[in-house]
Structures are given as C-alpha cells and as structure tokens.
Amino acid sequence: MICKTYYKIGRVRFNKARLCTENYARNGKGERAKSNFFKNSEIISNNIHFQGQYFDGETGLHYNRYHYYSPYLARFISKDPSGLLGGYNIYVYAPNPVGWVDPFGLSPKKGNSQKENNNTTCTIGKMIRVRHYTNRKGSNAIELTQKILAVDNNRVYVEPANKKPLSQIEAEDKYQIKQGKRRDYVEFDVLESRTEWVKNPRYHREELTIKGDVINPCNLVINRRR
C-alpha cells in the first residue's frame, strides 16, 4: 500500500489528507505475488481485498461473512450454510465471485454492476432473440451459473423467439426426446453473427444453433412450466 500525503491550505490550519493506492501484484489464486513500495513512503496495512473480503495476515485466509477463502488452496474452505440445498458442492460461494455476491451463504445474487456490464455487452452488435428448451434441472443450472452449455456437438440448439413457444409435448415431439426433457425454456439475446443454421444429425432438419457455450446470456428470461 502506497500513501502519498497532500496538504490543503485552510484559513486557520493546514489540513492533511492521504491518497492510498495499491501497488502490489497477485497471482491467479489471490496470493500476493510481490510488493513494490516507494522507499520514502509510509507503509499502511490494507486488509480489504477482492470482493470486500478482509484478509487475516495471521491465518492467511480471506474472511467474507459466512465464507473463508484460502489463496493457497484457491478455493473457499467454509461449508455453505444451506448445505446440500445449494448443490452438490457444499463449499461453493457463487457461480462467479467477480459479479455475484452471497453475504449470508443462503442465496447468491448477481450484483448491480454485473447486470450493467451485461446490458453493455448486449449492444455491441446486431442481436436476435432466441429460445432454448430444457428441463427443470437445466433451467436451474442456467439461472445459477448464467451459462448455457453446448452439450450437443458443441452447439446450443435454439429457435427464433419471435413465434409462440412450443408446448412441452410439442417440443418433446419436435426434438424427439424423452418426456419431461423439455419442460422449461429460456429466452435471451445473442449476436446474430454467433448463430448458424445447421442440419441436425439426429433427424436431418435444419436448426438454428450457437457454437460453443453461451456465457452470461444477454437479457435472460427463464420460463418454468408446471
């Protein structure tokens, strides 16, 4: 931590203020890799780190309310208060600690800044609205991770969202899948340049696809049917 002292002239006395800026590097785990202090600067301890976590120099852990993070292990070491209700990984903090918060360990939420960033990235080119059918497990995973995995031939199969959604039975019949596998659907915006019409190898019909995973889908709406 480097602090420079600035003086402001007042009517009666000099007011002194400090401007502190971080000047150290970290590795991918969050460990401090090196320090670079000016020789004549006053060294002040800075324990407020990434995501507002408080660093404990004695234990080497970062304290984040209900979760402790270990830079050495590169993972959170505190069990989630919700236990298995939050998923199979009971040490998870949030899908993406950069844009998500979970101060009480019970309900991860996307931060406002992350939402604003998503809206910004949604305006970088020509966008089209698409729809992707999935089951309940899939819709829950998409909501939690903000990611749609390309599990079929490295593609996400979608359809234009400018038409009425198919019913569950219609979707299962069209895509020739087992009952219950297309119970829900999600709609989102995607760059038109990322989409491509390809012939589905299963039933030899042209379908709209997105190559690769869809990360942080723009203006995502999740629809769950009873």
- Residue 30's pLDDT band (cuts 50, 70, 90): low
- Residue 180's pLDDT band (cuts 50, 70, 90): low
Tens of pLDDT, residues 33-82: 555 544 555 555 677 776 667 888 888 888 877 788 888 888 888 887 77
Region 132-160: mean pLDDT is 90
How far is Cα 60 from Cα 141, in angstroms, rounded to an integer? 32
Region 170-195: mean pLDDT is 84
pLDDT attached to residue 16: 45
pLDDT of 28 > 70? The answer is: no
Q: Domain ranges in the chain? A: 2-43, 50-109, 119-223
For the entire predicted model, the pTM comes to 0.51
Q: What is the dotted CATH code of the domain comprising 119-223?
A: 3.20.170
Region 165-179: mean pLDDT is 82
Region 166-193: mean pLDDT is 84
Tens of pLDDT, residues 1-23: 444 444 444 444 444 444 444 45
How far is Cα 3 from Cα 13, in angstroms, rounded to an integer? 22
* pLDDT, mean over the chain: 75
pLDDT of 165 > 80? The answer is: yes
pLDDT attached to residue 128: 94
